[in-house]
């Protein structure tokens, strides 16, 4: 009897599920029509306000029906993601990966390539750090350890941050991780459930978008513009927040624009996040490369946060794959359990290198000076070209806009590489800035100077200057 009842209920569930599918299909047809109308009207495909309004409406109606807001939000995200992709047109099949790949090919074939595309400084780790790691390896300091990192390293990081920012931190707020990328991943994986949304301020490092997508979330970009000095408009930011939003990613000094966030903007964004219960993921890996004042979320702001930090830039330790996260104890606990599951811990001997690095306070200053000097060269050379750009407040990038618009920048970048051996990163990968490109200061002043000069030649030859 009961088994028959179970069968009946199951077949009903199957029917209801099928009806949902039919409605999904109907919804897709409507979305496709909307896409056509928007195209004719020249409207943006992704309209956060319209979505936000519909989402709020659905959650409210769902509540009246006794549906869990989490479930309704998950459904809304699924539907919106689908609608956006249906309305979107496909374009340019060449990607920036082709540029990277082609650059390596050219080099292997014996051609000189000026690498103005990669985000890796050529500075290298200080001799003291190399010695500390070597020595730890020789001593056999290579056993499974605490997934949070060496206690003495976490203690030292906490102490230095307290001294630098006058915030209150203990070792329990620090998590040692294998690099900044993994830090971003851990933060997102911990904060974001499938269907949740994360706000990005565009242009932004492509990894954020990829990683939000990777953890099943949805990245909602808030555009900033060169005309407004890349200042985020807090009203747009507020409008982009939906009931499914869990976090805002900030990255200042910014990759790719070199913008520092002004204190009042920082305060306003924190206030918005706080009032909406959002976490700020503040990627501060370029903090030490600030040429002027730079705010940090560690400056005593009252909001839930996760800070991403790395030894790669400040200490030239790119290939060591070590960084750290700063967050509330509970968040650190959650992230630590993921490290424990996925990698056990960062190799102990590398952590001894990081511990040594923290004693070398002059190194980040020296490296920052090198970047500032390279930046001056880049700015001077770029000023001679038909481009507009924001003069960076820090970081290791400039993000110029080609004055004559309407070109396929990915294709141009590929041509530039082929004809002049100069590799740059096209703006499209930073969130659709198609007339822009990014110049990195990873290479020497000479290489930067020569690369930009060759870029100028290229633009003249193409009739773009």
Which of the residues 410 through 449 are near a second copy (CB under 8 A)? Answer: none
| Least Cβ distance, residue 377 to a second copy (angstroms) | 22
The three-state secondary structure class of 309 is: strand
The residue among 308 and 385 lying less far from a second copy, judged by its C-beta, is 308
Applying CB under 8 A, the span of 28-36, 220-228, 362-370, 448-456 interacting with a second copy comes to: 28-36
Q: Enumerate residues 233-262 that contact a second copy by CB under 8 A.
A: none
Does residue 214 interact with a second copy by CB under 8 A? yes
Scanning the structure block, which residue is given the tokens 């195209």? 39
d(CA 150, CA 358): 14
Under rule CB under 8 A, residue 336 binds a second copy: no
- Applying CB under 8 A, among 106, 118, 360, 454 the residue interacting with a second copy is 118
Residue 44 binds to a second copy (criterion: CB under 8 A): no
Max intra-chain CA distance, the chain: 85
Residues 55-114 that bind a second copy (CB under 8 A): 57-58, 61-62, 65-68, 71-72, 74-79, 82-83
**Which CB, 67 or 360, lies closer to a second copy?**
67
CB atoms closer than 10 angstroms to residue 248: 27
Phi, psi values for residue 112, rounded to 5°: -80, 135
- Cα 454-460-464 angle, rounded to 5 deg: 120
Give the nearest distance from C-beta 19 to a second copy in angstroms. Answer: 6
Told to check if 349 binds a second copy by CB under 8 A, we report yes
Q: Which of the ranges 139-147, 251-259, 298-306, 393-401 carries the binding residues for a second copy, by CB under 8 A? A: 139-147
Residue with smaller CB distance to a second copy, 293 or 343: 343
Q: What distance in Å separates the CA atoms of residue 317 and residue 365, rounded to the nearest whole number?
A: 15
CB of 250 closer than 8 Å to CB of 271:
no
Q: Using CA of residue 228, residue 232, residue 237, residue 238, what is the dihedral sign?
A: negative
Q: Which stretch binds a second copy (CB under 8 A): 34-42, 218-226, 266-274, 408-416?
A: 34-42
Q: Report the distance separating Cα 231 and Cα 51, nearest Å.
A: 24
Q: Which of 212, 248, 250 has its CA nearest to residue 231?
A: 250
Q: Do the Cβ atoms of 250 and 297 come closer than 8 Å?
A: yes
Question: Taking CB under 8 A as the criterion, which residues in 141-180 touch a second copy?
Answer: 141-145, 178-179
**Binding of a second copy at residue 341 (CB under 8 A)?**
yes
């Amino acid at each position: 009897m009961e088994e028959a009842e179970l069968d009946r209920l199951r077949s009903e569930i199957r029917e209801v599920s099928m009806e949902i599918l039919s409605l999904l299909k109907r919804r897709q047809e409507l979305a496709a029509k909307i896409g056509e109308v928007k195209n004719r009207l020249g409207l943006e495909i992704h309209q956060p306000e319209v979505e936000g309004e519909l989402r709020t409406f659905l959650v409210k109606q769902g509540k009246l029906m006794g549906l869990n807001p989490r479930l309704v939000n998950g459904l809304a995200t699924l539907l919106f993601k689908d609608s956006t992709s249906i309305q979107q047109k496909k374009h340019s099949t060449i990607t920036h990966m082709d540029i990277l790949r082609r650059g390596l090919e050219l080099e292997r074939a014996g051609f000189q390539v000026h690498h103005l595309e990669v985000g890796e400084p050529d500075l290298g780790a200080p001799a003291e750090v190399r010695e500390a790691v070597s020595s730890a390896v020789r001593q056999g300091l290579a056993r499974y350890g605490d997934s949070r990192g060496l206690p003495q390293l976490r203690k030292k990081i906490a102490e230095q941050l307290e001294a630098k920012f006058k915030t209150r931190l203990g070792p329990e707020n620090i998590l040692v991780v294998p690099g900044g990328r993994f830090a971003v991943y851990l933060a997102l994986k911990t904060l974001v459930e499938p269907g949740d949304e994360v706000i990005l301020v565009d242009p932004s490092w492509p990894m954020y978008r990829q990683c939000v997508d990777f953890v099943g979330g949805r990245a909602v970009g808030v555009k900033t513009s060169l005309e407004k000095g890349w200042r985020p408009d807090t009203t747009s930011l507020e409008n982009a927040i939906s009931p499914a939003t869990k976090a805002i990613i900030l990255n200042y000094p910014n990759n790719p624009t070199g913008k520092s966030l002004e204190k009042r903007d920082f305060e306003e964004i924190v206030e918005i996040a706080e009032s909406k219960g959002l976490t700020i993921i503040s990627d501060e890996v370029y903090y030490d490369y600030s040429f002027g004042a730079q705010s940090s979320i560690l400056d005593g702001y009252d909001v839930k946060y996760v800070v991403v930090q790395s030894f790669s830039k400040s200490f030239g330790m790119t290939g060591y794959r070590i960084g750290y996260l700063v967050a509330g104890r509970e968040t650190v606990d959650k992230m630590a359990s993921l490290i424990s599951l996925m990698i056990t811990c960062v190799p102990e001997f590398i952590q001894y290198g990081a511990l040594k690095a923290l004693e070398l306070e002059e190194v980040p200053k020296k490296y920052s000076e090198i970047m500032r000097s390279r930046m001056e060269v880049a700015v001077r050379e770029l000023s001679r070209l038909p481009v507009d750009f924001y003069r960076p407040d820090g970081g290791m990038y400039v993000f110029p806009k080609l004055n004559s618009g309407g070109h396929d920048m990915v294709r141009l970048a590929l041509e530039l590489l082929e004809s002049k051996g100069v590799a740059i990163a096209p703006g499209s990968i930073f969130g659709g800035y198609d007339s822009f490109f990014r110049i990195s200061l990873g290479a020497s002043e000479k290489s930067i100077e020569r690369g930009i000069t060759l870029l100028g030649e290229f633009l003249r030859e193409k009739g773009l200057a």
